[in-house]
Amino acid sequence: MSALPKTDSLPTLDFARYRNPAEREDFFEDLRHAARTYGFFYLSGHGVSDQLQKDIVAISKRFFALPQADKVAVEMVHSPHFRGYTRAGGERTRGQADWREQFDVGTERRTVVQNAATPWTRLQGPNQWPDALPDLKSVVLDWQSELTRVAIELLQAFATALGQDKDVFKPIYENAPNQHLKIIRYPGRDATGSDQGVGAHKDSGFLTLLLQDVQGGLQVEKDGGWIDATPVPGTFVINIGEILELASDGYLKATVHRVVTPPSGKDRLSVAFFFGADLNADVPLLKLPSGLAQEAGGTDTDPDNPLFREVGRNYLKGRLRSHPDVAQRHHADLL
Predicted confidence band at 6 (pLDDT cuts at 50, 70, 90)?
Answer: very low
User: Chain-centre distance of CA 123, in angstroms?
Assistant: 17
Residue at 234 is within a domain = yes
Query: What is the total count of domains within the chain?
Result: 1
Helix (H, G, I), strand (E, B) or coil at 151: helix
pLDDT, tens digit, for every residue of 198-245?
999 999 999 999 999 999 999 999 998 999 999 999 999 999 999 999
- pLDDT recorded at residue 230: 96
Pairing of strands 178-187, 101-105: antiparallel
Residue at 4 is within a domain = no
Q: 198: domain range?
A: 12-334
Predicted confidence band at 74 (pLDDT cuts at 50, 70, 90)?
Answer: very high
Proportion of the chain above pLDDT 90, given as a percent: 89
Rg of the Cα atoms in the chain: 19
For residue 271, the cross-strand partners are: 183, 211
The type of residue at 133 is L
Q: Is the pLDDT of residue 115 over 90?
A: no
Tell me how crowded residue 325 is: count the other CB atoms within 10 A of its CB: 14
- pLDDT recorded at residue 3: 46
Half-sphere exposure of 23 (CA within 13 A, CB side): 13
The one-character DSSP state at 292 is H
- CATH number for the domain spanning 67: value is 2.60.120.330
Residue at 236 is within a domain = yes
Residue at 280 is within a domain = yes
Residue at 2 is within a domain = no
Residue at 248 is within a domain = yes
The one-character DSSP state at 223 is T
Helix (H, G, I), strand (E, B) or coil at 43: strand
Q: Is the pLDDT of residue 2 over 50?
A: no
Residue at 5 is within a domain = no
Q: What is the DSSP string of 298-316?
A: -----TTS---SBHHHHHH
Asked whether the beta carbons of 177 and 237 are under 8 A apart, the reply is no
* Helix 24-37 with 135-161: angle, nearest 10 deg: 100
CA atoms of 274 and 204, how far apart (whole Å): 8
pLDDT, tens digit, for every residue of 282-334?
999 999 999 999 999 888 877 777 888 999 999 999 999 999 999 999 999 99
- pLDDT recorded at residue 304: 77
Q: Is the pLDDT of residue 4 over 80?
A: no
Q: What is the pTM of this model?
A: 0.95
Asked whether the beta carbons of 237 and 220 are under 8 A apart, the reply is no
Pairing of strands 12-14, 40-44: parallel
pLDDT, tens digit, for every residue of 7-37?
478 999 999 999 999 999 999 999 999 999 9
Residue at 1 is within a domain = no
